[in-house]
Chain A
Amino acid sequence: MYDYNAFDRAFLAERNAQFRHQVERRIDGSLTEDEFRPLRLMNGLYLQLHAYMLRICIPYGTLNPGQMRRFADVADRWDKGYGHFTTRQNIQLNWPKLKDVPDILDSLGEVGIHAIQTSGNTIRNTTADHFAGAAADEIEDPRPVAELIRQWSTDHAEFQFLPRKFKIAITGSPNDRAVTRAHDIGLRMVRRGDQVGFEVLVGGGLGRTPMLGAVIRDFLPKADLLPYLEAIVSTYNVMGRRDNKYKARIKITVFENGIDTFKAAVEERFGETRAQFSGVDQQILKGIEAQFAPPAFRNAPTEAFDAALAADPVFRAWADTNLTEHRAPGYAIVTVSLKAHGATPGDASSAQMRLLADLAERYGHSELRISHEQNVILPHVHKSDLPTIHAALAREGLATANVGLISDIIACPGMDYCALATARSIPVAQEIATHFRDIGLEQEIGALKIKISGCINACGHHHVGHIGILGLDRAGVENYQITLGGDHTETAAIGERAGPGFAYDQVVPAIERLLRAYLAQRAEPAETFIDAFRRLGPAPFKAALYPEEARDAA
């Protein structure tokens, strides 16, 4: 795994010292809030509904055990003993005090973690496939390139004041687990002959105007990546709209100018940027790649795993949902669900973080990942260790066998924490999860993605949920709009609005009607909700959601 060098460490220390001074000057009154706000946001510090919130970066979702333990220590010492993992592969602390934030940042800096560019109109954390370097379907580990992008984009002088925030996602697998089509730039590794390069997508994004990215280059050689990214971002920096915050994202720039015009401008700029990159970036990439060398996988028998599968139905159920095929023989990828029924999606207590760190160290080649679906991954686990790991996870409430099922919900913080929210998300997720478990339909329904956002900003990815739920404020009352048919994978789609919204206490009954209609009409038990939706179209599902209107129309 990549380790920060002396330059990175010195940079972080200096930056934290600068921020400490700014916090002191805010507290003693020499800085007004208007002066301080942009400075705190540059360091990931928001002011939310009930407290400050610190958003900390986890580059491409990869962590080592020491870093995970440090989150636990920070949460215990300066927060309320837990952290919230987000769809951006960040972690958020919900209750820090202003005066403590410099200490928190210093403590994180010691293990190479920071909060720089987790806010503001800059290039944010580049997110990646959470199974990178482990997945059986992968062309190449995308993380060395993601690290190269991190080094290029951090403190990039020209890109500190873009028209709006800028998000890049990267996958090395044809099965897209990084939602590349919903990012400002999506990068998908492709192979052409014996060369690996990128399909480059541009102009995707969720929020109030959801759009899927368009292909700007179907094959970009790897060596051209940074100059090409530089060309895209600097073209956007010039062409992007600064007159209207809601039209400032690159998706609008691409939409308003057309992909061809935008592409022509990028290609022209690329002519200049390519000459500026002398190839040093490729040397740096080589060095980074060496640090991402795969761990020394061991060759060992897997009978213990097979025996546990046969003997223990609880273990079997967990193995069925929470394991993914690894590229190395005898290994598995473990997804640890942070979605215990009734829990807050994405939250982990400090005890849970410490256990995950220990397990990664003892059984997981010291690697952890945070997924955009708000779960934690142990990417390299030998199958013979799985029964032990499962038992240890169970003791900390981390063995829920629900990955990919209805209770594995993405939910943003919503109005329980977020100052921008128009309704709550978390309790809606909690109620859906417990309800479908209690009525015994979770397994029967099978693979399903429900995603919930507490406002149009769509941090909970509701647009790309098979079932999306958007919380709104309708005349002072929480109201929830449902979208159907979204897809976050390589077959990405934006869900369509089903009809009028539902009152808070009507959401779970509405989802139940919807899913009972699916169960009644699916062609066979193996037909998933999204497949049935695609085959049948929205009509039967809308009829289930709005039974009265169906009757009126009859």
Chain B
Amino acid sequence: MSRRFTPKVVTANDLLDGDVIYLTADDRWTRAHHEAELIEDEAHAQLRLLFAAGQPARVVGPYLAEARAGANGPEPTHFREAFRTRGPSNYPHGKQEAANV
């Protein structure tokens, strides 16, 4: 049974700070979800995940997270991933603390 592949981004936690990071198309790690590479092809997704897994001194626990194309780049589709782009609900901590407002 094959399901149609839905778009993904590669995400992980930063080894030193522990915060959420995303893999960009030009092989960088970014803290901004909209800068991530939106991967639409399953074989390519596996390659990108392997690339991430090959950097254990930089990232922890890389995985593929559902995403979709948005006006400014990829957007998360699941609420868990949405929370990971922001930070907790109860304090302005996490990414929202440093948000470039």
Q: Given contacts A33-B60, A50-B94, A430-B90, is CB(A98)–CB(B84) below 8 Å? A: no
A532 within 8 A of B: no
Q: Does A48 contact B90, Cβ atoms closer than 8 Å?
A: no
A-B contact count (CB 8 A): 71
Please tell me which one of the listed residues B15, B17, B83, B90 contacts residue A49 in the complex, with CB atoms under 8 A apart: B83
Closest A residue to B97 using CB positions: A80
B73 within 8 A of A: no
Interface size class of B (residues with CB under 8 A): 20 to 34
A27 within 8 A of B: yes
Chain B residues positioned under 8 Å from A478 (CB to CB): 79
Chain A residues positioned under 8 Å from B78 (CB to CB): 476
Q: Given contacts A49-B83, A50-B88, A416-B89, is CB(A32)–CB(B16) below 8 Å? A: no
Closest B residue to A347 using CB positions: B90
Closest B residue to A26 using CB positions: B15
Q: Does A32 contact B18, Cβ atoms closer than 8 Å?
A: no
Chain A residues positioned under 8 Å from B84 (CB to CB): 49-50
Q: Does A417 contact B16, Cβ atoms closer than 8 Å?
A: no
* Cα of A256 to Cα of B83 in the assembled complex, Å: 40
* Cα of A416 to Cα of B18 in the assembled complex, Å: 15
A424 within 8 A of B: yes
Chain A residues positioned under 8 Å from B19 (CB to CB): 50-51
Chain A residues positioned under 8 Å from B80 (CB to CB): 415, 473
Please tell me which one of the listed residues B13, B61, B88, B93 contacts residue A426 in the complex, with CB atoms under 8 A apart: B88
Q: Does A51 contact B77, Cβ atoms closer than 8 Å?
A: no
Chain B residues positioned under 8 Å from A427 (CB to CB): 89-90
- For chain A, residues 86 to 116, give those with C-beta under 8 angstroms from any C-beta of chain B: 94-95, 97-99
Chain A residues positioned under 8 Å from B15 (CB to CB): 26-27, 33, 98
Give the A interface residue count (CB, 8 A): 30
Closest B residue to A424 using CB positions: B89
| A106 CB to nearest B CB, Å | 19
Closest A residue to B20 using CB positions: A50
Closest B residue to A53 using CB positions: B18
* Cα of A97 to Cα of B83 in the assembled complex, Å: 20
* Cα of A476 to Cα of B20 in the assembled complex, Å: 20
Chain A residues positioned under 8 Å from B89 (CB to CB): 416, 424, 426-427
Q: Does B60 contact A476, Cβ atoms closer than 8 Å?
A: no
A52 within 8 A of B: yes
- For chain A, residues 52 to 96, give those with C-beta under 8 angstroms from any C-beta of chain B: 52, 80, 94-95
Closest A residue to B86 using CB positions: A50
B95 within 8 A of A: yes
* Cα of A304 to Cα of B3 in the assembled complex, Å: 74
A29 within 8 A of B: yes
The B interface, classified by DSSP as helix, strand, loop or mixed, is loop
| B30 CB to nearest A CB, Å | 15
Proximity string of chain A (404-434) to chain B, C-beta cutoff 8 Å, 1 when within and 0 when not: 0000000000011100000010110010000
Chain A residues positioned under 8 Å from B101 (CB to CB): none
Please tell me which one of the listed residues A26, A28, A80, A98 contacts residue B18 in the complex, with CB atoms under 8 A apart: A98
Chain B residues positioned under 8 Å from A415 (CB to CB): 79-80, 83
- For chain B, residues 62 to 101, give those with C-beta under 8 angstroms from any C-beta of chain A: 77-80, 83-84, 87-91, 93-95
* Cα of A80 to Cα of B92 in the assembled complex, Å: 11
Please tell me which one of the listed residues B56, B83, B93 contacts residue A80 in the complex, with CB atoms under 8 A apart: B93
| A515 CB to nearest B CB, Å | 24
* Cα of A168 to Cα of B56 in the assembled complex, Å: 37
Q: Does B93 contact A47, Cβ atoms closer than 8 Å?
A: no
Q: Given contacts A33-B60, A476-B79, is CB(A416)–CB(B17) below 8 Å? A: no
Chain A residues positioned under 8 Å from B79 (CB to CB): 415, 473, 476-478
A125 within 8 A of B: no
Chain B residues positioned under 8 Å from A47 (CB to CB): 13, 18, 60-61
A153 within 8 A of B: no
- For chain A, residues 471 to 488, give those with C-beta under 8 angstroms from any C-beta of chain B: 473, 476-478
A344 within 8 A of B: yes
| B35 CB to nearest A CB, Å | 18
Proximity string of chain B (1-42) to chain A, C-beta cutoff 8 Å, 1 when within and 0 when not: 000000000000101111110000000000000000000000
Q: Given contacts A27-B16, A99-B16, A415-B83, is CB(A32)–CB(B56) below 8 Å? A: yes
Closest B residue to A48 using CB positions: B18
Q: Does A97 contact B60, Cβ atoms closer than 8 Å?
A: no
| B65 CB to nearest A CB, Å | 12
Proximity string of chain A (436-458) to chain B, C-beta cutoff 8 Å, 1 when within and 0 when not: 00000000000000000000000
Chain B residues positioned under 8 Å from A417 (CB to CB): 88
Closest A residue to B59 using CB positions: A33
Chain B residues positioned under 8 Å from A94 (CB to CB): 93
B43 within 8 A of A: no
| A387 CB to nearest B CB, Å | 32
* Cα of A424 to Cα of B17 in the assembled complex, Å: 23
The 10 sampled A-B contact pairs (Cβ below 8 Å) are: A27-B16, A27-B57, A47-B61, A49-B84, A415-B80, A415-B83, A417-B88, A424-B83, A473-B80, A476-B79
Q: Which 5 A-B pairs have the closest CB atoms?
A: A416-B88, A29-B57, A52-B18, A51-B18, A50-B94
15 other A-B residue contacts (CB within 8 Å) besides A33-B61, A415-B79, A478-B79:
A26-B15, A27-B15, A33-B15, A33-B56, A49-B84, A50-B18, A50-B19, A51-B18, A51-B19, A97-B16, A97-B18, A98-B15, A344-B91, A424-B89, A476-B77
